[in-house]
Amino acid sequence: MTTQTAIKANRMPAITWHKFKGNEAEIELPALAAHDAGAVAFTVPPALMFMETTINGDVALDAGTAPVKEAFDEALAAAPEGLQQWETGMGEAADAWLDAAAKRRLAVLVPEGHTEENTLVIRIQAQDGAAAVAAVDLVAQAHSRLKVALHVDSPTAGSGVAGSRVRVFVGEGARVEFASVQTLDATWQHLDNIGAYVADSGRFIAEQTVLGAAESYTGFASNVAGREADTTVDTRYLGHGANKIDFNYVIRQRGVQSTCTLTANGVLMDSSAKVLRGTIDLIHGAKGAVGKENETVLLVNEDVRNKTIPVILCDEDDVQGAHGATIGHVNPEQLGYMKTRGLSAEQVEDLFAVATFDYAASHAFDASVRAAVERLGTRVLGDAYELLQEGE
Amino acid sequence: MADALLAVQGLSASAGEKAILHGIDLEVNKGEIHVLMGPNGAGKSTLGHVLMGNPAFTVTGGSIKLDGADITEDDVDKRSKAGLFISFQAPVEVPGVPLNSFLRAIVAQHEELDLKGKKYKKRVAEIMAQLDMDEAYLNRELNVGFSGGEKKKVEMLQLLLLQPKLAILDETDSGLDVDALNVVSKAMAAYREECDGTILIITHNTRILEHLPVDRTHVMVKGKLVAEGDASLITKIDAEGFEQFGHVEETEVLRSEDDPFGGFNVEDVLADAEAALREADAKRASESGEANEAGAAE
């Protein structure tokens, strides 16, 4: 059970003028019941060790429980600035709220050198009047591989909050691929809070797709601490109706020759509003580090509101930081090309909205996600989407 | 000719104030293959784009008829729906739009194809097999990260899917290796076989023409059609070059000659046009200022 509250979240590390109203998000959260057993489900691939907390607070044990705990302790020791003061993108207040609301917890250990490409699946289904929240901690030990798929959906009508707090430790030479898709209908709030630590030569690759919800808040922080460590983020979003989308990316590049690529592509329709704060912090000592970010926003209607706030912080001489943004209508070359195939300018812009759903559907990690994307696509775009899907 | 599929009469066009095409007369009958050749910068690609309705150019005279209908004033998308197609030298990349979404959307605009749902999927699969393309391409973003050869295959995929009345193939062979060239040649043959397609090939390379039954060859120099003949003209050009048609070295090059695609670049042309417009504006402002000053003096 949570009480009605208002929290500030997604605050930029280096704030700008308050009059722009973009430094942080203010989230009004209603009083909500705790979710029941069906709201959060985990599917852990074989050979991974995990600890799972059931809805009743019991700890479901598997054979690897003790090693998981030991591994987390080791990770804490190996990454003092990472785990003990774990920075997440949404910030402390949201982190605490999510932590309190989470009734299902999962801790997973990928053993050293484990490279089987099975996917850990996390499903969160919104429940009317409840906070459906999962808290997940992942440790990928040295030279291991892990794929994670997170789906936040609202299969039934109602209102409430659905979301997650995920912390990821990427060990030396390890690679974690994290793909999330959010397909909430327009009556829900979505909170998505991620914190990562990336050790030497580790790679954390995140693909985030935000398609729905009345309000969607994504906070993403990565401590790219190791030498030649990397964090790559590819975000896609669609604003429609009157929904609000709020992103905060904070990439701390501490590692020598560490790299970061932050890419976002979005379409804003109707009277939707979106803020994307992208901060790449090139910290003293990160010699040879390269951080770049780029956002492309297609504004379909005149009533949309877009704020793109790229920030490169730099306290090291020998680094490269770059940012770019393209905001507006379809560029003339693309428009010209597509018109030669029979599409009008209006149809080209509509195509970008359809394509956002299509891309998510075609890259969905299973049939249920694809079905959820198509359900939402049909609700948002109506016949235009349904007819195109006909017979598929 | 009354039954010409494409009838171009006295067509002149400019980019800004810069005249590029001068009084072009061209007729292409249904089912024929025509070749438009000429040195770099002659205006070949410009003609292709003017026929397609590229708004970078202004038609300053003449007319374009497709299948008897005057399309000179029509917008680009309307010309496509009327049955005109152009394949691009360097197709643009469109992040955010999977190839499959794009193909479905363009097919939906050509209702006469009646390709919905399963029919669409079946047809796309057939064509991709013809072109030796993996269906995984469908989920990739349109042309993003595609090699030059892959992009040309996507152009051919669209050609075979849309089955236009007339296909303008603009330097489709440029930058292709032998294998890719064979695939493109096969696609052109399939287009002709499946829908009695009509083709206007723009090229300055005769290799792609080796296995095609060319009906007519046209030569363009400095924005004018300076010669016309049957397929034997290609052999003559191969042997003697374009110099036989005039002072080629003076041909106005609209694009850097070291560009492998050669012959056309909208940005260059627009830049020239914008410069000309700025010059004209400045001149007008100067004249207006002089007039005002003169008025004030009075």
* Burial bucket for residue A273 (CB in 10 Å: 0-12, 13-18, 19+): middle
Instruction: Kindly report the nearest CA distance between residue B25 and chain A, in angstroms.
Output: 23
Residue closest to B171 by CA, chosen among B15, B40, B81: B40
* Burial bucket for residue A1 (CB in 10 Å: 0-12, 13-18, 19+): exposed
Q: Report the SS3 class of residue B183.
A: helix
Q: Who has greater pLDDT, A343 or A384?
A: A343
Instruction: Kindly report the nearest CA distance between residue B144 and chain A, in angstroms.
Output: 12
pLDDT (mean) for A259-263? 98
Q: Report the SS3 class of residue A187.
A: coil
Q: Where are the domains of chain B?
A: 6-264
Neighbours of A159 (CB within 10 A): 18
Residues, chain B, total?
298
B104 and chain A in contact, CB less than 8 A? yes
Cα torsion at B202, B207, B209, B211 (round to 10°)?
-160
Rounded to 5°, the CA angle A358-A363-A366 comes to: 110
Q: Which residues contact B284 (CB under 8 A, 6 or more apart)?
A: none
Q: What's the pLDDT at B174?
A: 77
Rounded to 5°, the CA angle B100-A264-B154 comes to: 25
DSSP annotation of A88 reads -
Residue closest to A323 by CA, chosen among A287, A266, A286, A282: A282
Residue closest to B78 by CA, chosen among A150, A74, A342, A6: A342
Please list the residues that pair with B202 across neighbouring strands. Answer: B36, B170
**pLDDT tens per residue across span A156-181:** 999 999 999 999 999 999 999 999 99
pLDDT (mean) for A283-291? 97
Q: Which residues contact B205 (CB under 8 A, 6 or more apart)?
A: B173, B174
Region of residue B114 (phi > 0: left; psi between -120 and 50: alpha; otherwise: beta): left
Residue closest to B86 by CA, chosen among B129, B140, B47: B47
Q: What's the pLDDT at A311?
A: 96
Residue closest to A48 by CA, chosen among A30, A65, A36, A24: A65
CB B160 within 8 A of CB B130: yes
CB A250 within 8 A of CB A87: yes
Residue closest to A305 by CA, chosen among A276, A336, A331: A276
B97–A355: do the CB atoms touch at under 8 Å? yes
B138 and chain A in contact, CB less than 8 A? yes
Q: Report the SS3 class of residue A19.
A: helix
User: What span, in angstroms and rounded, lies between the C-alpha atoms of A22 and A222?
Assistant: 21
User: What span, in angstroms and rounded, lies between the C-alpha atoms of B187 and B172?
Assistant: 11
DSSP annotation of B16 reads T
The helix, strand and coil proportions of chain A, stated in percent and rounded to the nearest 5, come to 20, 45, 35
CB A22 within 8 A of CB A277: yes
A340–B52: do the CB atoms touch at under 8 Å? yes
Q: How many CA atoms lie within 13 A of B271 on its CB side?
A: 7
Mutate to test the interface with A, among B45, B51, B76, B88 (most CBs of A within 10 A): B76
User: What span, in angstroms and rounded, lies between the C-alpha atoms of A18 and A31?
Assistant: 29
User: What span, in angstroms and rounded, lies between the C-alpha atoms of A4 and B190?
Assistant: 67
Residues in chain B with CB shorter than 8 Å from the CB of A363 are 139
Tell me the helices (H) and strands (E) count for chain A, helix number first: 6, 22
Q: Is the pLDDT of residue A57 over 60?
A: no
Residues of A with CB under 8 A from a CB of B: 236, 265, 267, 296, 298, 333-334, 336-344, 347, 351-352, 354-356, 358-359, 362-363, 387-388, 390-392
Q: Give the nearest partner residue to A343 out of B109, B117, B158, using CB atoms.
A: B109
B166-170 and B84-87 as β-strands: parallel, antiparallel, unpaired?
parallel
Q: Which residues contact A37 (CB under 8 A, 6 or more apart)?
A: A54, A55
Neighbours of A167 (CB within 10 A): 22
Q: What's the pLDDT at A49?
A: 74
CB B25 within 8 A of CB B244: no
* Reported confidence tier of residue A38, pLDDT bands at 50, 70, 90: confident
Region of residue A21 (phi > 0: left; psi between -120 and 50: alpha; otherwise: beta): left
Q: Which ipTM did the prediction report?
A: 0.82
- In chain B, the N- to C-terminal Cα span, in Å, equals 61
Q: Is the pLDDT of residue A125 over 80?
A: yes
DSSP annotation of B41 reads T
B274 and chain A in contact, CB less than 8 A? no
Q: What's the pLDDT at B19?
A: 93
Residues in chain A with CB shorter than 8 Å from the CB of B94 are 334, 337-338
Q: Give the nearest partner residue to B96 out of A356, A390, A391, using CB atoms.
A: A356
CB A342 within 8 A of CB B110: yes
Q: What's the pLDDT at B298?
A: 30
User: What span, in angstroms and rounded, lies between the C-alpha atoms of A7 and A10?
Assistant: 10
**pLDDT tens per residue across span B208-264:** 787 789 999 999 999 999 999 999 999 888 888 888 887 554 444 333 333 322 334
Mean pLDDT for all residues in chain A: 90
Which residue in chain B has the smallest CA separation from A234? B96
**pLDDT tens per residue across span A241-251:** 999 999 999 99
CB A352 within 8 A of CB A212: no
Q: Which residues contact B69 (CB under 8 A, 6 or more apart)?
A: B82
* Reported confidence tier of residue A388, pLDDT bands at 50, 70, 90: low
**pLDDT tens per residue across span A207-242:** 999 999 999 999 999 999 999 999 999 999 999 999
Q: Give the nearest partner residue to A342 out of B86, B97, B109, using CB atoms.
A: B109
Q: Which residues contact A178 (CB under 8 A, 6 or more apart)?
A: A147, A148, A150, A166, A168, A194, A204, A205, A206, A207
Residue closest to A276 by CA, chosen among A233, A225, A320: A233
B188 and chain A in contact, CB less than 8 A? no
Q: How many CA atoms lie within 13 A of B281 on its CB side?
A: 7
A230-239 and A259-268 as β-strands: parallel, antiparallel, unpaired?
parallel
Q: Report the SS3 class of residue B150.
A: helix
Which residue in chain B has the smallest CA separation from A391? B117
pLDDT (mean) for A286-305? 95
Q: What's the pLDDT at A195?
A: 94
pLDDT tens, chain B, 298 aa long:
447 999 999 999 999 888 999 999 999 999 999 999 998 889 999 999 999 999 999 999 999 999 999 999 999 999 999 999 999 988 999 988 999 999 999 999 998 888 888 899 999 999 999 999 999 999 999 999 999 889 999 999 999 999 999 999 998 877 788 888 888 888 999 999 998 899 999 987 777 787 789 999 999 999 999 999 999 999 888 888 888 887 554 444 333 333 322 334 444 444 444 444 455 555 555 555 544 443 333 3
pLDDT (mean) for A177-189? 98
CATH number for B6-264: choose from 3.40.50.300, 3.40.50.2300, 3.40.50.1000, 3.40.50.720.
3.40.50.300
Residues in chain B with CB shorter than 8 Å from the CB of A392 are 117, 121
